[in-house]
Structure 1
Amino acid sequence: MTDTTTVLTGLHFAEAPTLGPDGHLYLSDFYAHEVLRVDVTDWSTTVVATVEEQPSGLGWLADGSLLVVSMNDRRLRRLDPDGTLHDHADLSGVARGSANDMYVDQQGRAWVGDFGFDFYGLLRDEPDADPLFGPDADPPTASIALVTSDGTVTRAAEGLQFPNGMVELSDGRLVVAETVGKCLTAFDVDGHRLINRRQYADLRTAGPGGAAVLPDGICVDAEDGIWVSDPAGSGAVRIAGGEVRERVSTSQPCFAVGLVGDQLVCCTAESSNPNVAGTRRTGRLEVCTVTVPGP
């Protein structure tokens, strides 16, 4: 078990740590409504965009534009290299509830998951509820939307149990973290569709002491090992060949991971609940050195 070092504090709730083409790390701070650029030489931050409806997944187009999921109005925004923010696509025809994490491939296709229901509305009505894992929780399934580089939106897959982080393996498979499903799920990519769905890794007993890993954000390394954030276990695990190969321990729940060279970047926070994380700046970036670097 490897421990992390905290390099940045004062965040609300960081998500989607993504290495940009300029060599900087980018991330969304949900409840600050900000997209941040992080200089990994000294971990200083710059706000590059404000997204009032809450930013989440990030990814780049070939022209250097940054795509940003705008969660609560279910839109995809595009930040041009000159700093101008535009609407890129309307996801409301596919997404139910808030839009969420995203992967943008080399063809400029954006794969975007959603919550499947009004998660934040339920928390407004019942601040102490657990709509995903509480004793009475029965969340509906959700979809993955495909957004082409011209902004066209189609439904690529459905019936997922809270789709979250996504990565592409070297053979072209797309792997999705199903948080409520406690698993990683693989698809083949067939143009605008995700097909041949199958389980990539069962995470029901992959956490410390045989507990379940509830996968949130994920990232992939140069050997197709998938790092999976484990908020319930306050850490992250590396999955290769369907099995846990390494573990990292964080100071508090870990909700997203990214790789910058041989540094695993963990986004941690006291809680993901907006009634907690939205009012307190307990979010951190924590890092550790891993044996296999990023791709």
Structure 2
Amino acid sequence: MSDVLLTGLKIGESARWHDGRLWLCNWGTQQVLAVDLDGGTEVVATVPTTIPFSIDWLPDGRLLVVAGPEGRLLHQEPDGSLVDHADLTCLGAGLNEIVVDGRGNTYVNGGTDFHPDAGVAPGFVALVTPDGAVRRVADGIAFPNGMAVTPDDSTLIVSESFAGTLTAFDIEPDGSLSNRRVWAPVPGDGIVLDAEGAVWTPGWTDAGPACLRVAEGGEVLATVPLDRAGFACTLGGDDGRTLFVLAADWHMQEGFEENIERLLTGPETGQVLTARAPAAHAGRP
């Protein structure tokens, strides 16, 4: 069972636990929100973009923001302003998610502007090193979504939404990715790792939408039913065992573009839900 912490979001995405609060991107309002455990909210950044946009933090504490349609990677200055952090023009527009590993390497994915029935997978993962160098480190990703890095910085897990898999890569010392493999044959979106090595991911069961706790290989260890589609999840709270799920109405009979348009312009159905988890947060983000 889950409890409602917050309502009135457009589309909540990029769930992160940081500095004692849940942080998220409220798509449709251009806002990055920080939410306390009582449901109080603070607008911590306004992003000059539409959707998607995603967040994480550099080792020095600066907030990073990916403005997807513009293909920009921004960081927040002490005065709250957002400025360009690295030149990503070589990657093009259509960026999506971000994660920063323990070495300060930033992984950004993109190439999401295609139809799932097109028969191609132009998605990619790019690396931005601490000195600002940018290069692609993986290609052929079928709509890359949420990413997570294991606590030892050895493995990157990527949600391939249109392939219906969680895909893993070994992280090499220079940040390159190798040894691509299926981590679990389970669809994913915004994901988080726990201290027992499982991944929490929004998903679906025969009974409808849910947040799933999945072991490597695909065994579903736990299920939190939802009354609307989940978009992202994270673990946090005082002991790292509060599961936060960002959810909103999604009509399966509608197309992708129709659903996004309705969520952005229609009723604000986005919520933050919470539940207790069996293991604490681990890894990044």
TM-score (norm 1): 0.84
Give the alignment partner of residue 260 of structure 2, picking from 269, 274, 285. Answer: 274
Asked if structure 2 preserves the Cα contact closer than 8 Å seen for 1:215 and 1:231, the reply is no
Which residue is 2:198 aligned to?
225
Which amino acid is 2:230 matched to?
Answer: C
Provide the residue aligned with 1:125 in structure 2: none
Residue 194 of structure 1 corresponds to 177
Alpha-carbon distance in structure 2 between the residues aligned to 1:141 and 1:231: 25
Q: Which residue is equivalent to 2:216? A: 241
Separation in 1 of the partners of 2:215 and 2:16?
Answer: 21
Q: Is 2:147 the counterpart of 1:166? A: yes
1:231 Cα deviation after fit? 5.9
Q: What amino acid is the match of 1:264?
A: L
1:262 aligns with 2:258: no
Offset from partner CA, 1:2-31 (integer Å, 9 cap, x none) = x211110110001111111x2121111121
Q: Distance in 2 between matches of 1:78 and 1:141?
A: 27
2-structure distance, mates of 1:64, 1:93:
26
Q: Paired residue for 2:87?
A: 90
Distance in 2 between residues matched to 1:33 and 1:7, nearest whole Å: 21
Match of 2:131, SS state, is: coil
Give the alignment partner of residue 143 of structure 1, picking from 105, 124, 138.
Answer: 124
- Rounded to whole Å, the distance in 2 between the matches of 1:81 and 1:63 is 12
- Cα deviation for residue 75 of structure 1 reads 0.7
- Match of 1:200, as an amino acid? W
C-alpha offsets along residues 218-255 of structure 1, whole Å, 9 cap, x if unaligned? Answer: 00011111101116841111111321111111120001
**Residues 166 and 177, structure 1, Cα contact 8 Å, conserved in 2:** yes
> Contact between 2:71 and 2:91, CA under 8 Å: does it hold in 1?
no
DSSP-derived class of the 1:156 partner: strand
Matches within 5 A, 1:3-82: 3-20=1-18, 22-40=19-37, 42-54=38-50, 56-82=53-79
Retained in 2: the 8 A contact 1:61–1:149? no
Partner of 1:294: 281
Q: Where in structure 2 are there 5+ consecutive unaligned residues?
A: 251-255
TM-score normalized with structure 2 length: 0.87
CA displacement, residues 28-87 of structure 1 (integer Å, 9 cap, x when unaligned)? 1121111111112x1111111111213522111122101011111011110134423111
Q: How many residues were matched structurally?
A: 265
Q: What is the Cα deviation at residue 141 of structure 1? A: 2.4
CA distance in 1, matches of 2:55, 2:43: 14
Q: Which amino acid aligns with 1:177?
A: S
Shift of 1:198: 0.9
Supply the RMSD in Å over aligned alpha carbons. 1.8
Q: Using the aligned pairs only, state the percent identity.
A: 38
Flag the 1:270–1:90 CA change in 2: closer, same or farther, 3 A: farther
Provide the residue aligned with 2:163 in structure 1.
181
CA distance in 1, matches of 2:78, 2:280: 28
- Contact 2:96–2:112, Cα closer than 8 Å, also in 1: no
Change in 2 beyond 3 A, CA 1:110/1:147:
same
- Unpaired runs of 5+ residues, structure 1, are 120-130, 204-213
Mapped contact 1:57–1:103 kept (Cα < 8 A): no
Deviations along 1:106-157, one digit per CA (max 9) or x if unpaired, are 222111111342x5xxxxxxxxxxx33xxx5445321111112233211111
Q: Tell me, yes or no, if structure 1 residue 252 matches structure 2 residue 235.
A: no
